[in-house]
Amino acid sequence: MHYIVYCQDKPNHVEKRLANYDAHKAYLMGNPIKFLMSGPIVDEEDRETMLGSFFLVEADNISEVEDFNKNDPFYAAGIWESIHIKPFHKRVDNISAK
């Protein structure tokens, strides 16, 4: 099953995010879950300032995804104001359609 994980940062937490960025990247490089896509959510105007995190993952159940999220250094650092994890049915994939 695919799951979307959408995490919105707390206001004014860019510096805290950057201070924990290397630990976050190291955690993700350890392949704690099967990633299909991930990356930061950025400010609409400057398109650079990170405001949150997005993951599209594949897992057997939502508990796996919740465990993945709770073990992320960003979670431990209290960066995220809100976390939404939802099942996702992929209908169209232009990448594999080529």
**CATH number of the domain that 16 lies in?**
3.30.70.1060
Q: Does residue 97 register a pLDDT over 60?
A: no
What is the pLDDT averaged over residues 57-74?
97
Classify residue 94: in a domain, yes or no. Answer: no
Q: What is the mean pLDDT of the chain?
A: 94
Q: Three-class SS string for 38-95?
A: EEEEECCCCCCCEEEEEEEEECCCHHHHHHHHHCCHHHHCCCEEEEEEEEECCCCCCC
Classify residue 11: in a domain, yes or no. Answer: yes
Domain tally for the chain?
1
Instruction: Give residue 26's domain range.
Output: 2-88
Q: Does residue 90 register a pLDDT over 90?
A: no
Q: Does residue 91 register a pLDDT over 70?
A: yes
pLDDT at 52: 97
Classify residue 9: in a domain, yes or no. Answer: yes
The pTM assigned to this predicted structure is 0.88
